[in-house]
Amino acid sequence: MKSDDFFRNPTKGKMKLAKVAKEIFDFINYEPQGKCRLVVGTDSSGGKKTEFVTAIIVHRVGRGGRYFWKKTNGDRVYHTLRDRIYQEVNLSLGTAQNILGRLRPLIKKGIEPYNFQIHIDVGQNGPTKEMIKEVVGMVRGNGFEAKIKPESFAASNIADRHVR
């Protein structure tokens, strides 16, 4: 996998993961009484050169949010949709664990003012329906809440917007 290790934000440009964590922390603390959710999702393009886009979204429920995204180029051809979906989930889980590791030192002990979700680009309709239990199990097994289509906006809307 090739990545430039930079996330991008539509208004703030390129930044490293540590800066993304600080931006998320500042966003949450701006209105600490507001309910926030932190979401990670990945989408990919098919073809000879698979490109993955992972999005991190901090959403203050009912009040808007911010997002950051990063492209990763696959180092091989993914011959099946199943392989690509597994890689999408693995990239989302890795990103979630990394961002959470950066956020924990910033947040007071015992206080987690957000809920954390992984959005997976699978749904009840279409060729991915047989994979739902497997990939949701992967996400839950890593301690995160899983969302699938039509609720998986991080993967199916935000990341998808930048993968093309």
Q: Give residue-wise pLDDT tens across range 37-81.
A: 999 999 999 777 899 999 999 999 899 999 999 999 877 888 899
CA distance 54 to 71: 7
Indicate the number of domains in the chain.
1
* Residue 6 vs residues 59, 113, 116: alpha-carbon distances, Å: 21, 26, 22
Instruction: Please tell me which residue, 114 or 113, carries the higher pLDDT value.
Output: 114
Q: What is the pLDDT of residues 2-34, one digit of tens each?
A: 666 899 999 999 999 999 999 999 998 888 888
pTM reported for the whole predicted model: 0.92
8 Å CB contact between 135 and 92: no
Band the pLDDT of 139: cuts 50, 70, 90: very high
Residue 32: is the preceding peptide bond cis (ω within 30°)? no
Which residues form the domain of 48?
2-163
3-class DSSP state of 113? coil
